[in-house]
Amino acid sequence: MKQLDQLREFMRRDRVFDFVAEERFPFTSGVRPVRPGVVDISKGPILYIENMTVSFDGFKAINDLTLYINHGELRCIIGPNGAGKTTMMDCITGKTRPDSGTVFYGQTMDLTRMSEYEIAQVGIGRKFQKPTVFPHHTVFENLELALYTDKSVWPTLIAKLSGEQRDHIDEVLRIIGLIDQVHRRAGLLSHGQTQWLEIGMLLMQKPLLLLVDEPVAGMTHQESERTAELLTSLAEEHSVVVVEHDMDFVRSLARTVTVLHEGRVLAEGSMDQVQNDPKVIEVYLGETAH
Ligand SMILES: Nc1ncnc2c1ncn2[C@@H]1O[C@H](COP(=O)(O)OP(=O)(O)OP(=O)(O)O)[C@@H](O)[C@H]1O
Ligand SMILES: [Mg+2]
């Protein structure tokens, strides 16, 4: 426990009086513009979740959760059904508000005080399991549309891409491996390709932190392998948090694994470490071994 306290003290965000913070980062007012790119990662972590609790009708889906994600890290989150993994992501993206505790993006941005839109604007992208691509548009058009967060300006902006925007689309096409499909309608893509396109659409916004919930569900083995490569290639430039049940997939990412159970961290370490942790075997991996 003492070590944990020391770690917390080491990673402590600078104490900033509220009125100073609001002057420097005026996103909380609701009328002043968000300033993208001001996330302060100088102490290492890009995300600080501290003592967070979320209750649904008295049931604690998240129970005093403390978790840090470093900038450029690829972190896997595993845990049995109902452990609170998706609820944790909902709190990061502003969909759900915690009852208590804090969620900070870098040292100074309090995500619990920002709207979902503002949180997306400062560089946090989330991939849901259900694809949200536009099936009647081509791969290229989907990426193009993803450039614009203000959907009302779509029709007037089409065909007015700058060279820089085109380059960015080309780069994303290369990263997601869909260059050959660029003129294909998204509705005709395979399940795996659709998931990659959706990741590509997130990348169009140049996010710093990507949250990915169960990316390989329903994928073939080959598609899962390709997805592992894709997510691995995104780390360093982006911080990536992946929730997944598929243990082979998690192992193939070979990164730090956090095990959630009953809304808090049960274990953390390499896949080998957590897989051999008796607590984990008892509540989680033991279940699947039966
Ligand atoms: N909006 C809600 N209202 C009531 N209960 C909720 C709500 N959202 C989640 N829960 C409950 O909170 C707990 C945690 O759910 P959550 O979806 O975060 O788990 P999870 O770890 O993502 O599980 P899974 O692996 O099945 O996706 C569950 O018991 C769930 O039933
Ligand atoms: Mg879930």
Give yes or no for residue 104 having a pLDDT over 90.
Answer: yes
Nearest alpha carbon, ligand 1 atom 25: 81
Residue 96 lies in a domain: yes
What proportion of the chain, given as a percentage, has pLDDT over 70? 81
- CATH code for position 15: 3.40.50.300
Ligand nearest to the CA of 261: 1
Whether the pTM exceeds 0.75: the reply is: yes
Q: How far apart are CA 175 and CA 237, in angstroms?
A: 13
**213 - beta bridge partners?**
243
Which residues span the domain enclosing 18?
2-123+207-289
Percent of the chain residues topping a pLDDT of 90: 68
Residue closest by Cα to atom 9 of ligand 1:
87
Q: Kindly state whether residue 86 falls inside one of the protein's structural domains.
A: yes
pLDDT digits (tens, 9 = 90+) for 13-57: 544 444 444 444 444 433 323 344 478 888 889 999 999 999 999
CA distance 182 to 179: 5
Specify if 197 maps to a domain.
Answer: no
Predicted pLDDT of residue 153:
57
Cα(143) to ligand 1 centroid in Å equals 31
Residue to mutate, 52, 56, 259, 262, ligand 1, most ligand atoms under 8 Å from C-beta: 56
In a domain, residue 50? The reply is yes
Domain membership flag for residue 101 = yes
Cα atoms in the Cβ-side hemisphere of radius 13 Å centred on 142: 31
Per the domain annotation, does 161 fall within a domain? no
Instruction: Quote the ligand 1 centre to 49 CA distance (angstroms).
Output: 18
pLDDT confidence of residue 232: 96
Question: Could you give the count of Cα atoms lying within 13 Å of 144 in the half-sphere of its Cβ?
Answer: 20
Q: Are 140 and 197 in contact (CB under 8 A)?
A: no
Most ligand 1 atoms within 8 A of CB, residue of 49, 55, 87 to mutate = 87
Ligand 1: residues whose CB is within 6 Å?
56, 61, 79, 81-87
With respect to residue 111, please indicate whether it lies within any of the assigned structural domains.
Answer: yes
- Per-residue b or e along 38-68, where b marks 16 or more CB atoms closer than 10 Å to that residue's CB: ebbbebebbbbbbebbbeeeeebbbbebbbb
In a domain, 185, yes or no: no
What is the tens place of the pLDDT at every residue in 130-145? Answer: 778 999 999 999 999 8
Confidence label for 255 from pLDDT (cuts 50, 70 and 90): confident
